[in-house]
């Protein structure tokens, strides 16, 4: 085991034993990395001096804060530098008593959605488990506050990195102490994978980036939709609800003149009738690489009302940190070349 971050108590205990240390040091190590935010073994003052200095150069798997930008509403966007020099984005979003972290699951993203800054920048690689968990520890450390909620809505497509995402979720829950119900995995949908996710009995919330009320509009926005008909995606989501007993959130980005008229809302409501779900409307965050517009408030309200009139549970996502490059992947894009 290279990186200790993301490892469970049994894994850490096993590791200290391999280092010829007594098993209880595993518990100490667990506490120091997850509760006290230790960045290196040399900081762990309860460890014997000799061992600490022998292990001082051992990287436990924390990333480095390369840049951070705070917006007036308190949202902080981070660029984190990974051990191979790659950069990923993470966002800390405080509200009332909550602290939400928007985590990345990949460096870049291969899905190439037309409205998404990350998608425009191409794909580098999957994130390792420790690189996902580190994002939460970093936000916790900078805010000096416990993280209460996680959303996998940063860079990347989580269902293309299932193994590392699921083991990061385990660690966030068991090691850091974040309730599974407060963890949301957002996906654009990869054929067969939503259904498969149901088998993991995750107890996390599934959010599906629908963004369109019909196949033609969806294909225009999301290239991968060509291989995944809307009906097939919705069927898989229905099955997910049936198997898990948990409702699905449908994310729907509102793009003026593209998918935001009343007829789209009615079409969407027709698809979702009787479906145990919730629609989360996301007013578009402008990015320089695309030519879309955010609809005005009147238009947003009209869309909301058309859904409400048809008994669809709907909410509008509040835009946070707009002046700090709010859209996913935007801050990193503005540092292109780093
Ligand atoms: N790949 C996953 C998770 C990452 S994106 C997914 O597609 O769900 C998280 C959410 O942010 C998605 O719903 C995505 O469509 C949305 N998003 C991306 N770019 C955006 C933009 N410019 N404005 C508003 N929402 C955006």
The string of pLDDT tens digits covering residues 192-210 is 999 999 999 889 999 999 9
β-strand pairing of 123-126 with 149-152: unpaired
Residue to probe by mutation, ligand 1, list 158, 253, 279, 322, most atoms within 8 Å of CB: 253
Residue whose C-alpha is closest to residue 304's, from 274, 275, 326, 283: 283
Residues 178 and 147 sit within 8 Å (Cβ to Cβ): yes
What is the predicted pLDDT for the residue at 1? Answer: 67
Distance 72 CA to ligand 1 centre (A): 22
- Report the catalytic residues: 89, 328
**Which residue's alpha carbon is at the smallest distance from atom 11 of ligand 1?**
153
Q: Tell me the pLDDT tens digit for each residue of 87-100.
A: 999 999 999 899 99
Identify the CA nearest to 159 among candidates 114, 112, 197.
Answer: 197
pLDDT at 333: 61
Ligand 1 close to Cβ of residue 188 (< 6 A): yes
Ligand 1 pocket check for 251: Cβ under 6 Å: yes
Distance from the CA of 328 to the center of ligand 1, in angstroms?
A: 6
**DSSP string across 280-338:** EEEE----TT----PPPHHHHHHHHHHHHHTT--EEEPPP--GGGT-STTHHHHTTTT-
Residue spans of the chain under pLDDT 50: 337-338
pLDDT at position 337: 43
Residues 31 and 46: beta-carbon distance below 8 Å: no
Ligand 1: which of 88, 100, 110, 113 to mutate, judged by most atoms within 8 Å of the beta carbon? 113
| Residue 28 CA, ligand 1 centroid: distance in Å | 39
pLDDT at res. 22: 96
pTM of the model: 0.95
List the beta strands (DSSP E) in the chain: 64-70, 76-81, 87-95, 98-102, 106-108, 123-126, 149-152, 183-187, 205-209, 248-254, 277-283, 314-316
For every residue of 294-307, which 3-state class applies, written as one string? CCCHHHHHHHHHHH
CB of 253 closer than 6 angstroms to any ligand 1 atom: yes
Q: To which H or E segment does residue 52 belong?
A: helix 49-54
Quote the tokens at residue 263: 């007829």
Question: Helices 162-171 & 129-143, crossing angle to 10 degrees?
Answer: 40
Tell me which residue has its CA closest to atom 25 in ligand 1. Answer: 284
Output the pLDDT for position 330: 60
Q: Can you tell me whether residue 87 is helix, strand or coil?
A: strand
Ligand 1 within 6 A of CB of 328: yes
266: left (phi over 0), alpha (psi -120 to 50) or beta: alpha
Pocket test for ligand 1, best of 206, 209, 248, 259 (most atoms within 8 A of CB): 209
């Amino acid at each position: 085991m290279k990186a200790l971050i993301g490892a469970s108590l049994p894994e850490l205990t096993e590791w200290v034993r391999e280092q010829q240390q007594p098993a209880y040091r595993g518990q100490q190590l667990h506490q120091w990395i997850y509760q006290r935010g230790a960045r290196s073994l040399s900081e762990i003052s309860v460890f014997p001096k000799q061992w600490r200095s022998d292990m001082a150069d051992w990287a436990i798997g924390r990333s480095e804060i390369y840049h951070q930008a705070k917006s007036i509403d308190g949202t902080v966007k981070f660029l984190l530098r990974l051990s191979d020099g790659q950069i990923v984005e993470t966002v800390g979003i405080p509200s009332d008593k909550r602290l939400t972290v928007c985590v990345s699951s990949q460096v870049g993203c291969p899905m190439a959605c037309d409205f998404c800054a990350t998608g425009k920048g191409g794909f580098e690689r999957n994130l390792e488990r420790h690189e996902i968990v580190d994002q939460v520890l970093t936000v916790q450390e900078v805010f000096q506050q416990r993280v209460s909620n996680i959303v996998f809505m940063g860079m990347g497509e989580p269902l293309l990195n299932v193994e590392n995402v699921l083991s990061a979720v385990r660690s966030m829950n068991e090691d850091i102490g974040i309730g599974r119900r407060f963890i949301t995995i957002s996906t654009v949908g990869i054929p067969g994978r939503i259904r498969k996710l149901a088998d993991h009995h995750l107890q996390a919330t599934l959010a599906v980036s629908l963004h369109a009320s019909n196949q033609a509009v969806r294909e225009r926005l999301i290239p991968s939709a060509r291989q995944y008909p809307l009906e097939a995606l919705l069927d898989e989501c229905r099955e997910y609800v049936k198997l898990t007993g948990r409702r699905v959130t449908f994310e729907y980005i509102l793009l003026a003149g593209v998918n935001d008229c009343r007829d789209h809302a009615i079409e969407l409501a027709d698809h979702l009738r009787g479906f145990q779900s919730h629609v989360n409307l996301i007013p578009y965050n402008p990015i320089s690489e695309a030519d879309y517009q955010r609809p005005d408030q009147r238009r947003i309200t009209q869309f909301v009302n058309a859904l409400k009139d048809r008994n669809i549970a709907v909410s509008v996502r509040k835009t946070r940190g707009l002046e700090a490059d709010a859209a996913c992947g935007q801050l990193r894009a503005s540092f292109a070349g780093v």
